[in-house]
Amino acid sequence: ILVTPLDVIKTRLQAQSNPFSKGKCCFVYSSGLMDHICVCENGDSKAWYKKSGRFKGMLDAFVKIIQIEGIKSLWSGLPPTLIMALPTTVIYFTCYDQLSEALKSRLGKDDEHIPVLAGALSRFGSVTVVSPLELIRTRMQYRKLSYKQLYTCISSKVATDGWFSLWRGWSSTVLRDVPFSAMYWYNYERFKKMMCKEVGAHEPTFFIAFTSGAASGSIAAVITLPFDVVKTHRQTELWESETLKIPQRDCTSTWAVMRKIVAKNGITGLFAGIIPRLFKVAPACAIMISTYEYGKSFFSHLNEKMNQCP
């Protein structure tokens, strides 16, 4: 709930495209992201609609979205985000803890590869399960849609291309999330041990977990940002092509999209939305891991007390 506006802004900064040439298309109402609305010419060659321009950055996008769509649009896609949170968190943390314990018995308790392997495998499973919800969330953030419009689009796409179309962008999501998770858990476990040793704590305090989570999340977010940009492009490309009736190109692999972005916007295009992503990921990771560690510690101590009772 706290970081959803930053996620909406990040998605729109990544997905915005160049304005169309004058007279190419009819006027189409679009809000926020698609504020490069096609200009239609009348008889005396004067445009009857003036586009509001592209987003120039995080603050510019923040202001324009509120002005054009209203403040509620900053929470676009929140319902599927919350629906995603439950299965993702359950699968992710359960798998991570179980895999960590299994790997410790095989590789040894202090093996540094355990967080990497457990983090990558647990993320792979959770991403695969919730990928369709991720697609729906991205589309809701990309354009302001009613649930009826969204259902119509999704059902028509499934009827045309089958159920596998709901996993569009899965490969780029895996390329983003699996390395992110591997790096995140590796750095988190290292930072946590270092800080616990520094303050002489036997288990991480809320502050230690919060700080370690924010630092490790920020590092992983920067390194994996190009795949986040590709994921947004691939998932929103379908929607734009259907809206504007533009045939899709055959070349839609992750690497092809990356080459296309670099050719169009330079290497910086792969790092679009880096500021809102960092502003979102750092507190999100910090809140997630600190509350998880605190909850785990609380219930562990509670279980010990209950077991000690006669």
| 43-67 pLDDT per residue, tens | 444 433 334 457 787 888 888 888 8
* Spatial separation of the C-alpha atoms in residues 185 and 163, rounded to whole Å: 33
Higher pLDDT, 302 or 31: 302
Read off the pLDDT of residues 170-206 as tens digits, 9 standing for 90 and up. 776 787 788 889 999 999 999 999 999 888 888 888 8
> Mean pLDDT over residues 270-298, rounded?
86
The amino acid at 164: F
DSSP β-bridge partners for residue 139: none
* ∠ Cα 82 145 89 (to 5°): 15
Q: Is 170:131 a contact under the CB 8 Å cutoff?
A: yes
Residue closest to 70 by CA, chosen among 2, 130, 5: 5
Which of 83-87, 148-152, 174-178 has the weakest average pLDDT? 148-152
* Spatial separation of the C-alpha atoms in residues 240 and 233, rounded to whole Å: 10
Read off the pLDDT of residues 100-140 as tens digits, 9 standing for 90 and up. 999 998 888 878 889 999 999 999 988 888 777 766 666 66
